Copies of this chain bind each other. A is one copy, B any other.
């Protein structure tokens, strides 16, 4: 499955593919900081004009940079930020193919726990800690544009034992 990375291609082409891969890592890595600060302008800058953010049937499904950015600047989202919401990204699976790329990744959403017991950890202070609110699977589709790699589609589904998240995860298992 991992055999074809360096199949053929000039040094220039192979190096470009490596650089592309690292840019995709950075693009995924900026999502949590962007979400946790409500950075609407930044969010808008990383989506293609026809970008679709698919959070599942129970949430709105915004299309285009402005609508997608609005989800992270709403009063509701702002309240989540004030409560200390943290998006936490795991190691993604990433594959680049010419001017498109895709990734499968896990994300945790955590919030400070204000109801549980206080833990004291030597040399690390005391706190009620954090509650893992969601663990979700993401499928990302990227596109190379004149202004760098952008997100064309992100689908996210909660890992709650139901099939949709598993359908996303299978995208990382190209034979």
User: Per-residue CB proximity of A104-130 to B under 8 Å, as 1/0?
Assistant: 111011111001010101111101011
Q: Are B29 and A93 in contact (CB under 8 A)?
A: yes
Chain A: how many interface residues by the 8 Å CB criterion?
A: 94
**Which residue numbers of A lie inside 8 Å of B, CB to CB?**
1-6, 11-12, 14-16, 18-19, 21-23, 25-30, 32-34, 36-37, 39, 41-42, 45-46, 58-59, 71, 74, 76-77, 79-86, 88-95, 104-106, 108-112, 115, 117, 119, 121-125, 127, 129-135, 137, 147-149, 158-162, 166, 169-173, 175
Known: A2-B27, A3-B147. 5 other contacts (CB 8 A): A18-B18, A18-B19, A18-B22, A42-B175, A88-B106
